[in-house]
Amino acid sequence: MRRKNYPTDLTDEQWELVRPLRPKARPGGRPRSVDLREVLNGVLYVVRGGVAWRMLPNDLPPWGTVHYYYRRWRLDGTWDRVMEALRTRLRHADGRKKSPSAAIVDSRTIRTAEGGVRGYDAGKRTPGRKRHIVVDTLGFLLAVVVHSASVRDRDGVKLVLARLEGRFPRLRLIWADAAYEAAVGWAWLFAGWVLELVRKPDDQKGFVVLPRRWVVERTFAWLMNGRRLARDYERLVESSEAMVKVSMIHLMLKRLRPA
The dihedral through the CA atoms of 149, 223, 37, 22 has a sign that is negative
Average model confidence (pLDDT) for the chain? 93
Residue type, 232: D
First to last CA, the chain: 23
Name residue 175's beta-bridge partners: 104, 196
Identify the CA nearest to 109 among candidates 98, 101, 119, 99.
119
Query: What does the pLDDT look like over 39-78, one tens digit per residue?
Result: 999 999 999 999 999 999 999 999 999 999 999 999 999 9
Q: What is the pTM of this model?
A: 0.94
| pLDDT tens string 191-245 | 999 999 998 776 666 656 677 889 999 999 999 999 999 999 999 999 999 999 9
Region 138-162: what's the mean pLDDT?
96
Mapped onto helix, strand or coil, the DSSP state of residue 169 is: coil
What is the C-alpha to C-alpha distance for residues 224 and 220, in angstroms, rounded to an integer? 6
Residue 80 banded pLDDT, cuts 50, 70, 90: very high
Closest alpha carbon to 220 in 132, 111, 150, 126: 132
Query: How high is the pLDDT of residue 24?
Result: 82
Q: What is the pLDDT of residue 207?
A: 58
CA angle 10, 14, 15 (to 5 degrees): 75
Give CA–CA dist 9/168, Å, rounded. 32
CB count within 10 Å of CB 211 equals 8
Domains annotated for the chain, with CATH where assigned, are: 98-234 (3.30.420)
| Single-letter amino acid, residue 240 | S
Strands 126-136 and 119-121: antiparallel
